[in-house]
Chains A and B, each alone.
Chain A
């Protein structure tokens, strides 16, 4: 470095290469270079990747079936069982949990009372790669789970009122949320491209009419409208159909913001010379929008998609929470939180709230990555600061 400032001669070979790389770099490479510098966004990206992967591999990572099939009849509303290495009876290299016994008799005043047995013989040891309930992953059937215990079941995050394992449900729920978000964002994205694309490319009265429509949809409060739409779902629909319907509704209401942005970009881009050139060559409007205009701001669209993702996830959660969205046996955070407002749960079963932490982390990770990407995609972000 010092050499160069002292003698501004011909650039060294390495520097020349670096410069060339900079000027010939694709938009994607430039964004990645800037994104890498943002430590919090990079951290968010790692967290996000870990969460998404653990969602996809949730059947393997979690010990039990998240639906009613995997319930533990012996341990309903059970507290989290934390594996430990040591207690007053000495230590063990293999972590263990205690056995619990539920009893209802004249002694307990005819109420269910859970007793934890802490004796040496009541230890249940943690095991890895245990055989358990079968599950499907990538079209193949497996039955090996990452961990389990030698006797009975282990519930790291406790169980709910029907004995379903909250740990298993949490990871299944991450998967569901990602799927709902992906479908919803995809539909919103396609609609936004079509409507925003047409509006921005043609301009004039088509633009005015479409903008009026977009603005009107933006004024209607979305969640109350969701609720009205979700109420149409007949009770006879299967959980899967509900799932797709909800995702589609989310997509249908999420497009206006994105459509507006696509339109604004197109309005400025459509007067560029390369568009005129394409028009003179006889290209159709659809072809010009798709092949010439959209690629000019793909990166911005991707950024917008990432930013709108958490909104989809949160809307689904809110909708399921009030009982209008997804239902058992599909797991999502909203479904899991459905019954937590009762005083009984608030006072006695606080472990119902453990999944909330995961979701805050998931949404935060998305927000960090989205913000980082937005800064990275903005070529002027450096000069602004």
Chain B
């Protein structure tokens, strides 16, 4: 038990270190964007009719703490970020945490749902493909997984939209019906949300599924020829019981390990898919922040949050793996 606690602590420290490194990269990028917050605020006041001098900008810089050294501001930003406070966006003049709030939760929820969807399909199908000698099934699966690569999610979304518009005269976009958009969360709103959410989940899960099937199949066919499987078979275990208790357990461990990277891939697709399906509640905020207004605070916060969820995911999967497989725990401590 002590060993396990030590393992968890090591992993947690590593995760925090990674996040710190990421936050440093993100913060540096934000600083590189031309124009700082003081200039933005003052420029805004200028549009309101006030007369501006260079001294005003300097005063504003001091007020916002922008005159402090780079490292000090980074520490301050990171300290806030870990407590969920990202400061204010200079362009929208709103608190970022409030602005993101629900939107980030919805995005994360959609992505996780897509991940679950992908593996719900991929694990049984992948295992079946590895076991079965059926050439037709295997070829179809190969084609599907190739298409998963060649037909990126945003093209799939476009094509689905094209067909939906031409044949059903309904573009299937958005996440809420009009009447629920600004309403508080309620049962009816949840039902409405689920009615809209299946399409983004399917589209986001599409290439993840294709990849996952390929991985499960490869891992499973590696395991299935091993001696312990033959030994189990010789002891009279057979059928589904044999598959699930022996090779599948081993084959699935590396998959748990790669869940974080799958989430990464889904986050990659999220902004573009959100733009196409006009999911204003989700990732397209990032595009707004970057493409339309160059809002570095907002963009930095979003990238930090996305990376944070991936790091958290990696941490959780590491712990899960250690619970399932004592060899992993020992290998870390040695």
> Which residues of A are at the interface with B, using a C-beta cutoff of 8 A?
212-213, 215-216, 218-225, 227-232, 234, 310, 314, 317-318, 321-324, 337, 340-341, 343, 346-347, 350, 353, 356, 359-360, 363-364, 367-368
Contacts and interface: CB of A to CB of B under 8 A. Distances in A.
A367 B152 contact: no
B271 A322 contact: yes
Given A219-B18, A219-B310, A363 B150 contact: yes
Nearest to B294: A231
B302 A216 contact: no
5 cross-chain pairs, A with B, having the tightest CB-CB distances, nearest first: A221-B267, A363-B150, A346-B165, A223-B268, A231-B290
Contacts of A317: 152
A215 B155 contact: no
B149 A324 contact: no
B268 A221 contact: yes
Given A231-B290, A364-B146, A224 B276 contact: no
Contact of B299 (A231, A347, A356, A360): A231
Contact of A368 (B18, B146, B294): B146
Contacts of A337: 158
A322 B171 CA distance: 19
B126 interface: no
Given A224-B306, A228-B303, A347-B166, A219 B155 contact: no
Contacts of A318: 152, 154, 272
Contacts of A340: 158
For chain B, the bracket of interface size reads 35 or more
**Which of A219, A322, A337, A364 lies at the interface centre, i.e. has the most chain B CB atoms within 10 A of its CB?**
A219
B120 interface: no
Contacts of A367: 146, 149-150
B161 A321 contact: no
B310 A341 contact: no
A321 B274 CA distance: 13
Interface of B (DSSP majority class): helix
Contact of B158 (A223, A228, A229, A353): A353
Given A219-B310, A225-B303, A324-B290, A310 B158 contact: no
Contact of B18 (A216, A228, A310, A353): A216
Contacts of B55: none
Interface in B286-334: 286-287, 290-291, 294, 299-300, 302-303, 306-307, 310-311, 314
Best-surrounded residue of A213, A221, A346 (most CB of chain B within 10 A) = A221
B307 A341 contact: no
B291 to A, nearest CB: 5
Contact of B22 (A220, A224, A368): A220
Contacts of B272: 223, 318, 321-322
A368 B300 CA distance: 38
A301 to B, nearest CB: 20
Contacts of A229: 29
Contact of B33 (A213, A223, A231, A350): A231
Nearest to B29: A228
A252 to B, nearest CB: 12
A368 B147 CA distance: 11
Given A216-B18, A317-B152, A324-B290, A343 B165 contact: yes
Contacts of A221: 264, 267-268, 303, 306-307, 310
Contacts of B275: 322, 341
Contact of B152 (A218, A314, A341): A314
